[in-house]
Structure 1
Amino acid sequence: MKNPLAAAAAAVTVLLWASSFVAIRHVGNDLSAGPMALARLLVGSVLLGAFLLLRPAEQRWHRPVRRDWPPLLACGLLWFGAYNVALNAAERRVDAGTAAMLVHIAPLLIAVLAGLTLGEGFPRQLVLGSAVAFGGVLLIGSSTSTGRAEIWGVVLCVAGAVSYAVGVVTQKPLLGRLPAAQVTWLACTIGTVACLPFAPGLVRELGTAGPAAIWWVVYLGAFPTALGFTTWAIALRHTTAGKMGATTYLVPMLAILMAWLLLGETPAGLAIAGGALCLVGVAVSRTRSRARERVPAARA
């Protein structure tokens, strides 16, 4: 990315999303999939709403037009709502390595969907880099997978990956018309409303959850959700959806490193090799092609 702010925003997103895997592991002992998603989104929506209210009046709100609402609903329902619930539920049925492999088909789906629907095409560097990085994800997954994958867990992972990909592709055009923080808040709030049926379960489970689990939920809502999705949107405004999706191949590698440092889980040799492949693949995907890529101009 030429824009230093966008590059920094992408780095923050990758770090925060990687940390969320460690947080979800802690919270999963106290909260089930739906209530955990609702709690995370509720915290994120409240914090993002407060941030918007504190902004100058002229920057606070740009009224969405009618054509903005279908992609906003798709992004909120699929990426913020369905993806979070599906991933939380899947990790109760498949091991972390298998989940990482299956969920990270999403960047490939993003590249394909963006090429077909957003006119981004299929740059050679992006295709090659995505293939190399996906190979790294497969190595990471094979080094950590126990091989015990329930079929329903596999279905949930794939469903989550599809929801993630469609959500990103529907979000991209909105960022040329609306501020990043507003798009994130609207999508997060839509996801929160969609998860409200889990409210009774959340109240019940919070009553028995320990203080550590509650703090981890606050962390998930404040940082990987409110901040991480906003910095993602800022970065996405300045690049293609395909390239931004390829950047998230760094998330599994960083998640393994964080688990090593914070949970004492020593990564296998194949996981380290897979992380190196992810780095190479992302680097390749970010290189410029000889023909200039046409990226829609973003509003300042």
Structure 2
Amino acid sequence: MTNSSRSPRGSEGLALAAAAVSVVLWASAFVSIRSAGAAYAPGALALGRLAAGTVVLGVLFAVRREGLPPRGAWPGIAASGLLWFGVYMVVLNWGEREVDAGTAAMIVNIGPILIALLGARFLGERLPPRLAAGMGVSFAGAVAVGLSMSGDGGASVLGVVLCLLAAMTYAGGVVAQKPALGRASALQVTFFGCLVGTVACLPFAGRLVSDAADAPVGATLNMVYLGVFPTALAFTTWAYALARTTAGKMGATTYVVPALVVLMSWAVLDEVPDWLTLAGGALCLAGVAVSRSRPRRSAEVPAPPAAAPVPAQQPEAEARH
């Protein structure tokens, strides 16, 4: 069934389901990165993750035989591949080594705000009041989660700069990807974007080989998991959803991630969250709900039909002539 034959409500439901898959898998990535990041350097981890994702996407691409994207899609694919798949993954891995996870989460979560602003500036997207309000609520929740997770150590200037760069490259990659999705399929944009990111990270190949020789099996399996699910699958479902809604609304959806990370850490790592963490997670969810809600339409009262104009009566004396 083609997109044009689906009802708008059905298409929106599929896009929301695809976005949900992405945010759940991206939340799980934080748990896996904690294991893989202890054995692999930031650049090596990014290259290993991207290489695994490229292999899976390449097999799927070959099976579907979609062909090369049209020429007009390549600028967005190249920009998103370099910024989001390449630079973002390296600097985020590096930044989380310099600052604690809470500080990193607070800084990186300015990304959705940047996406909304860049989308309004370069894509002509509207910034509805509900979207802005929801993002404000979710950002407050992300700050609360970050504060509750912050350690006692001070944040280094380098770590803060790296996390800021991660937020900027993430936002730039999403905004660059949106026009490409108007010309190419979600699989084409994701596969070739991931391939661009892999090529950009090839200078870390030597470190990846040396780290893999000493890394425990669990860390390597987590790196492969990051490539197959949070990269290959989650970025594809994200692209599918992004093609069917605005970049600003999709960016706001990622505020679900901090709340999911709290729950997953509780369930998998047995890290019991305190009241501030739970409150922040609830605010993140509430903000996303507000940002994706629609204003109620007031009942439209049909206007009375306009009365036909009455011709002006001529004076009686004039009428006799």
Normalization by structure 2: what TM-score? 0.87
Offset of residue 119 of structure 1: 0.8
Give the greater-gyration-radius structure (CA): 2
- Gapped regions of structure 1 (runs ≥ 5): 292-300
Which position in structure 2 is the counterpart of 1:220? 226
Which position in structure 2 is the counterpart of 1:297? none
Offset of residue 257 of structure 1: 1.1
Give the 5 Å matches for 1:38-57.
Answer: 38-55=47-64, 57=65
1:243-299: per-residue Cα shift (whole Å, max 9, x none)?
0000000101111211111111111210100111111110110012479xxxxxxxx
Which position in structure 1 is the counterpart of 2:184? 178
Offset of residue 189 of structure 1: 0.3
Offset of residue 64 of structure 1: 2.1
| Pairing 1:187–2:210 present | no
| Pairing 1:112–2:117 present | yes
| Pairing 1:31–2:36 present | no
Which position in structure 2 is the counterpart of 1:15? 24
| Distance in 1 between residues matched to 2:20 and 2:249, nearest whole Å | 13
The answer to whether the 8 A contact 1:62-1:179 is kept is no
Correspondent of 1:196 among 195, 202, 208? 202
Of 151-160 and 67-76, the range deviating more from structure 2: 67-76
| Distance in 2 between residues matched to 1:278 and 1:252, nearest whole Å | 7
Correspondent of 2:174 among 141, 162, 168? 168
Q: Percent identity?
A: 55
| Pairing 1:91–2:100 present | no
Correspondent of 1:70 among 54, 59, 75? 75
> What is the alpha-carbon root mean square deviation over aligned residues?
1.3
For 2:148, the aligned partner's letter is S
SS for the counterpart of 1:120 is: coil
1:37-91: per-residue Cα shift (whole Å, max 9, x none)?
0000000011001001111x4xx124321x3222221101110000000110011
SS for the counterpart of 1:207 is: helix
How many residue pairs get aligned? The number is 287
Offset of residue 176 of structure 1: 1.2
For 2:287, the aligned partner's letter is G
Normalization by structure 1: what TM-score? 0.93
- Gapped regions of structure 2 (runs ≥ 5): 1-7, 298-321
For 2:74, the aligned partner's letter is W
The answer to whether the 8 A contact 2:76-2:178 is kept is no
